[in-house]
């Protein structure tokens, strides 16, 4: 499992010590976020879920300025999308809705 750390930056800590009355609201820029000791760049959103009796989870969103995707990954992704389409269209996988029109000859 990954280790998530959220710590007050040194600059924010100094401001808090100097003027604690002005340090009430959470400012995202006042905190350093580390995942396994690494700070992700261009972080835009962080969602935490901490519930009793469940694993803690975090969803992190960040901006990407460059994408380099392997051709094999793209082929596998395309195959998965096609397989999902076929499974969704398969009559064995779906339940059929019956309407009055389907049984219009019955009971006439």
Give the pLDDT of residue 57: 94
Neighbours of 24 (CB within 10 A): 7
Q: Where are the domains of the chain?
A: 4-62
pLDDT tens, position by position, 22-64: 777 678 888 899 999 999 889 989 899 999 999 999 999 999 9
Q: Cα–Cα distances in Å, from 53 out to 3, 4, 106?
A: 19, 19, 54
Residue 74 pLDDT: 92
Q: Please report which confidence band the pLDDT of residue 75 belongs to, taking 50, 70 and 90 as the band edges.
A: very high
pTM: 0.56
Confidence of residue 97 (pLDDT cuts 50, 70, 90): low
């Amino acid at each position: 499992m990954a280790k998530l750390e959220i710590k007050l930056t040194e600059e924010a800590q100094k401001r808090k010590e100097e003027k604690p009355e002005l340090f009430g609201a959470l400012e995202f820029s006042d905190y350093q976020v580390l995942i396994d000791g690494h700070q992700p760049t261009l972080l835009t959103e962080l969602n935490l879920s901490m519930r009793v009796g469940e694993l803690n989870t975090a969803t992190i969103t960040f901006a990407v300025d460059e994408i380099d995707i392997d051709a094999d990954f793209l082929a596998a992704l395309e195959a998965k999308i096609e397989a999902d389409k076929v499974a969704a269209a398969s009559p064995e996988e779906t339940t059929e809705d019956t309407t009055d029109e389907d049984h219009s000859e019955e009971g006439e």
